[in-house]
Amino acid sequence: MKKFLFVALLAIASISAYAQPRAIGVNLGAWSSFSYQHGFGESNMLDVAANVILPINTGIGVGGHVTYDWIDPFGATFPWDKKGEWHWFMGVGGSGGFVFPFAGYDGWWYAGVAGHVGFEYDFWFPLQLSLDWRPSIGVCTKTSTPGFNYDGLWGGLQLGVRYKF
């Protein structure tokens, strides 16, 4: 009986996981990233981004953001009667990464709290475009002692292009 119950719960979990909408793509900006979104129903999603930090003034690095986002929070939606759908989202999570030594800068790491705010257009075919901002604050080691990471607030807007499946 225990085996049957385990197999039934596993089947239900895999069917419900398969039915959730997903998207994979890139966010282009100062902190460009590869992005994966996993939806939980129509109003929530988990957004996972692997960042590539470009050498603007702090060096070349890698990092990541994970945020839990609410889609159309507070019931506010865009009035739109054409093909496709507009949505906006906001969320909170964490971020971290490492910047490699570059052009006279020492390597340093960062970790902290991340936010996620933006809006997206879902086409009637499996393509999604978004414009979003991912601020983050926390600790870092830019100097020889740990300090406050404020660079994450200036990551700028990112243009997202994702394939929905």
pLDDT digits (tens, 9 = 90+) for 59-75: 688 999 999 999 988 88
Residue type, 95: S
Phi then psi for 30, rounded to 5 degrees? -60, -40
Q: What is the pLDDT of residue 82?
A: 85
- CA distance linking residue 36 with residue 24, whole number of Å: 5
pLDDT band at 141 (very low <50, low <70, confident <90, very high): confident
Instruction: Supply the pTM of this predicted model.
Output: 0.79
- CA distance linking residue 48 with residue 30, whole number of Å: 17
Token pair listed for 104: 């006279």
pLDDT digits (tens, 9 = 90+) for 2-31: 554 555 555 444 444 444 689 999 999 877
Q: Within a 10 A sphere around the Cβ of 14, how many other Cβ atoms?
A: 10
pLDDT band at 100 (very low <50, low <70, confident <90, very high): confident
Tokens 């966010």 -> residue: 27
The number of residues in the chain equals 165
pLDDT band at 127 (very low <50, low <70, confident <90, very high): very high
pLDDT band at 94 (very low <50, low <70, confident <90, very high): very high
| CATH architecture, range 21-164 | Beta Barrel (2.40)
